[in-house]
């Protein structure tokens, strides 16, 4: 394969999770529309990640500018994982952590590599009766509790016949992952202190209450613009995101961007809807009265 972006979703507007190097090998299946659903796996330096409890993910990349993902501890570099990317932990070896992340990659940048053929079984060995059998896929024999850690608190109850993927085994315990859909209205933020459901009008009306707080808003991207004297709270000449919202409000929000975030935002089409987590830098700007956020994370809302 050639160097290519590894994205969260099958869209050129989706956030880039990693930049995969030429020659790296990924396991994947066609996802339609010219995309492949792929698994990126390798080793990352432990000091460059921090423990998290973000859904199925255990780790988050905290190294400024991202961190290398290697084929083996201190081995060849397979990819560069972006700062802020969430990862699943598989195992550890001293200061190295084996991690995994699923995402989407453009199919035209890949070439098919045949997997090595398994040695033919000796005539005395019984022939396999089900070539689809695999140890990393299973289904629940009966309803079972899903625990955060062995002997820990129950996080969900899975029904009989629920399909799961086996990630690791430890004694009598098996770490699994399953996927499904829930209504967005049934979710709450998993980050401590993240505010949701706050209107732009509330932030402007009570600036001292919201200054410096993390907030989640749905915004409509309009353009990237250069700061001028009317946006004096943003360094003059810096580029920022101009957005409408928080939706369904008709106001405007300015969102400051890092260099990496700017490159990603500039790929967006005008009027794209985004779910944004940002820190309130200014609740009400001096001249125009609009909130100014520092972008922490964003996701494109598919229409």
CATH number of residue 276's parent domain: 2.40.50.140
**Domain-located, residue 181:** no
Burial class (CB in 10 A: 0-12, 13-18, 19+), 222: middle
Whether residue 256 has pLDDT greater than 80: yes
Answer yes or no: is pLDDT of 263 > 90: no
Domains held by the chain: number: 3
**Model pLDDT, residue 60:** 92
Q: What pLDDT is recorded for position 276?
A: 92
Which residues, in sequence order, are CB contacts of 147 under 8 Å at separation 6+? 153, 154, 155
- Same domain flag for 16 and 105: yes
Of 38-47, 110-119, 174-183, 254-263, the least confident: 110-119
pTM summary value: 0.48
pLDDT attached to residue 12:
86
Is the distance from CB of 242 to CB of 223 less than 8 angstroms? yes
Q: How confident is the model at residue 85, as a pLDDT?
A: 93
Are 166 and 241 in the same domain? no
* pLDDT tens-digit map of 218-227: 999 999 999 9
Q: pLDDT by residue (tens digit) across 18-71?
A: 999 988 888 888 888 888 899 999 999 988 999 887 777 889 999 888 999 999
Report if residue 153 sits inside a domain: yes
Better pLDDT: 17 or 267 = 17
pLDDT at 114: 61
**Assigned domain for 120 exists:** no
Do 250 and 166 lie in a common domain?
no
62 neighbors 14 (Cβ within 8 angstroms): no
Show the domain range for 284. 195-300
Percent of the chain clearing pLDDT 90 (strictly above): 40
Whether residue 157 has pLDDT greater than 60 = yes
The reply to whether 257 falls in a domain is: yes
Residue 52 located in a structural domain: yes
Whether residue 127 is predicted with pLDDT greater than 50 in this model: the reply is no
Paired residues of 208 in beta bridges: none
Does residue 125 fall inside a structural domain?
A: no
Give me the chain's average pLDDT, please. 84
The verdict on 104 and 10 lying in the same domain is yes
Task: Answer yes or no: do 201 and 291 share one domain.
Answer: yes
Q: Are residues 235 and 289 in the same domain?
A: yes
Q: Are 26 and 105 in contact (CB under 8 A)?
A: yes
Say if CB 272 and CB 14 are below 8 A apart: no
What confidence score (pLDDT) does residue 174 get? 79
Is residue 128 domain-resident?
A: no
168 and 205 housed in the same domain: no
Residue 296 sits in the same domain as residue 200 = yes
> Does 286 lie in the same domain as 248?
yes
Share of the chain above pLDDT 70, in %: 89
């Amino acid at each position: 394969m050639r160097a290519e972006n590894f994205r969260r979703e099958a869209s050129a507007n989706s956030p880039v999770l990693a930049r995969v190097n030429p020659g790296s090998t990924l396991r994947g299946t066609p996802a339609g529309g010219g995309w492949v659903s792929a698994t990126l796996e390798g080793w990352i330096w432990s000091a460059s990640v921090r423990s998290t409890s973000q859904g199925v993910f255990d780790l988050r990349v905290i190294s400024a500018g991202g961190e290398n993902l290697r084929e083996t501890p201190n081995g060849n570099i397979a990819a560069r994982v972006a700062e802020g990317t969430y990862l699943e932990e598989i195992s550890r070896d001293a200061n190295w952590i084996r991690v995994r992340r699923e995402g989407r990659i453009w199919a035209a940048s890949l070439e098919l590599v045949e997997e090595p053929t398994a040695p033919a079984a000796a005539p005395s060995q019984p022939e396999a009766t089900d070539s689809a059998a695999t140890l990393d896929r299973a289904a629940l024999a009966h309803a079972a509790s899903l625990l955060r850690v062995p002997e820990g608190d129950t996080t969900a109850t899975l029904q009989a016949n629920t399909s799961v993927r086996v990630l690791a085994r430890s004694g009598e315990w098996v770490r699994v992952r399953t996927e499904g859909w829930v209504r967005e209205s049934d979710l709450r933020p998993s980050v401590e202190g993240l505010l949701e459901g706050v209107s732009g009008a509330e932030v402007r009306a009570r600036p001292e209450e919201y200054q410096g707080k993390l907030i989640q808003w749905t915004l409509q991207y309009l353009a990237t613009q250069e700061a001028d004297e009317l946006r004096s709270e943003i360094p003059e000449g810096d580029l920022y995101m101009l957005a409408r919202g928080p939706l369904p409000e008709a106001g405007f929000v300015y969102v400051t961007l890092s260099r990496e975030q700017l490159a990603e935002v500039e790929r967006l089409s005008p009027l794209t809807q985004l779910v944004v987590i940002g820190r309130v830098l200014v609740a009400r700007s001096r001249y125009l009265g609009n909130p100014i956020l520092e972008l922490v994370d964003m996701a494109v809302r598919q229409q």
